[in-house]
Amino acid sequence: MKGKNEVSDEAARRRTFAVISHPDAGKSTITEALAVQAAAISSAGAVHGKGDRAGVTSDWMEMERSRGISITSSVLRFDYEGALLNLLDTPGHADFSEDTYRVLSAVDGAVMLLDSAKGLEAQTLKLFDVCKHGDVPILTFVNKWDRPGREPLELLDEIEQRIGLHAAPLNWPVGVAGDFRGLISRADGSFTKFVPQPNGKAALAVTMTSEQAAAELGDVWETAMEELTLLTEIGAELDHEAFTGGISTPVLFGAALPQFGVSALLDALKTYAPPPADRRTEAGGTRPVDAPFSGQVFKVQAGMDKAHRDSLAFIRVCSGKFERGMTLTMGSTGRGLVTKHAQTVFGRDRTTVDTAFPGDVIGLPNTHGLTVGESLFDGPSVTFPPIPAFAPEHFMVCRAKDVGRYKQFRRGIEQLDSEGAVQVLRSDIRGDQAPVLAAVGPLQFEVVAHRMEHEFNSPVVLTTIDFNECRVTDAESGAALAKMRGVEVFTRSLNGDLIALFQDKWRLRAIEREFPDLTIEQMLAAGQY
């Protein structure tokens, strides 16, 4: 039983979570601040905002560094006071919501980051819906309290009214947003004074007694005390069962850029975030955490290491103990997969990993045939629910600028397709030299063009195609649709689905009315979870 006890003990100390937010809420900054506070890195790269983000550990793609946005997901793993934290950073831009969806399928909890001035924004609301759909409990961190913003009680009310979560503050700000004086811990009443430092340095955290704080802060302190009394009266207390059940959210206040209040977030993650649990299977049962090894691919990424030009499959360990060199079975094909080159990832940096446990993320390089959603196992077979692709809303034809580089062109398109960076649609009419690329957001096409040129040495030409509605069909209905005006039928390379593109919604509706027996099925949309 030693093996099972080891797996259970190791799983119990792991916290695997993602950070979700609207663009510009400070997601990459809080990601790095967490790593700094846990002493995983010496200093954050985003100390001066977007104009000077060249060193952001979790943003490794060249486009991310130049634009100052996150457009891929990455993994940061670090120890904190006996807990092992696996932080999965996610793209902040809405055009890459598919990648975020995949990451959220691999975590046990999430940190919802709010801008103190803006509160709940559109992308945050969509990502909350993803978490709710996947039963992912949420901690909330109200960021940028050192800048002008809204009243804290107003923000709590917005959380309850707009997303239906009972807000339970773990700490409370003294001073309004933009005139930040410090934080009171509701657990023990201690006060930590906020002392900003020049030149982007981390703020000083000075511990004071309540008597000292009252004497120094006067009316500001009294206002905070009155607000705390009100919170107690209205029952804004944390119930752990309500949190894990998706009914309540612990709320913390702070400022990620000067790294103030971040240690309290780390403490909350260690204390309240759920450890890995038994994983649901496609058959409707569960795979116990202490069962033999199993995992699921949630991301495939190339271009992380220019020296090797390899691809890496990210695998969430769902059960059991992983040992480097073990041979795993692929659920879709039954083929064996040797894992002697298994790695652990920290941003773009990689090191060999010998063992891993539930909640961990391991990387397998150059594992051709592994795609997003693939189940891997040792011992009894298991298949986890597939990770769905979103309905694309933008379509472009892709061709190589230089026909002499067709081999590089084909290899690049196949790699981007396997990653899910873009959906590739093919047809006999257009041939492999002019596939149609389908994307949730137009920025995905920019990433494709950039990567095709710089990673695969095959610049491409992208041209628009006159379709804007997409549906799934079957072979019989697809054959009929292909003969109709304003319709074109493709095969989606990644999973073999037949995809019908329609000229516009009016043409689609006309065909649905005239031919009600045809199979024309709606796909999962980026805003529908």
Spatial CB neighbours of 466, under 8 Å, sequence gap ≥ 6: 503
Nearest Cα to Cα of residue 420 among 456, 384, 450, 444: 444
Per-residue b or e along 37-56, where b marks 16 or more CB atoms closer than 10 Å to that residue's CB: bbebbeebbbbeeeeebeeb
Helix (H, G, I), strand (E, B) or coil at 528: coil
Would the annotation count 92 as a binding residue?
yes
Give dist(CA 503, CA 488) in Å, integer: 9
Please give the Cα distance from 249 to 173 (Å, whole number).
17
How many CB atoms neighbour CB 389 within 10 A?
21
Say if CB 168 and CB 248 are below 8 A apart. yes
Separation of alpha carbons 158 and 16, rounded Å: 27
Give me 319's structure tokens. 């059960």
Give the Cα separation of 305 and 348 in Å (integer): 7
93 in a labelled binding site: yes
Q: Which of 118, 233, 116, 248 is nearest to 175 (CA)?
A: 116
Length of the chain: 529
The answer to whether residues 425 and 431 touch, using CB atoms and an 8 Å cutoff, is no
Residue 463, strand partner residues:
397
Q: Is the dihedral of CA 174, 180, 181, 187 positive or negative?
A: positive
Residue 515 CA, chain-centre distance (Å), reads: 40
Burial (CB count <10 Å: 0-12, 13-18, 19+), residue 498: buried
Name the H helices within 38-96: 62-67
SS (H, E, C) 415-433: HHHHHCCCEEEECCCCCCC
How is 84-115 classified by DSSP, letter by letter?
Answer: EEEEEE---SGGGHHHHHHHHTT-SEEEEEEE
| Cα–Cα distance for residue pair 237/242, rounded to 1 Å | 11
Cβ 257 vs Cβ 26: under 8 Å: yes
341 marked among binding-site residues: no
CA-to-CA distance for 55 and 346, rounded, in angstroms?
14
The annotation status of 22 as a binding-site residue, yes or no, is: no
Q: Token pair of 312, please? A: 């890496």
DSSP state of 25: S
The tokens of 264 are what?
A: 């309290």
Q: What element of type H or E holds 411?
A: helix 406-419
**68 known ligand binder:** no
Question: Pseudo-torsion of CA 471, 472, 477, 483, nearest 10°?
Answer: 50
Name the binding residues for GTP. Answer: 89-93
Name the binding residues. Answer: 89-93
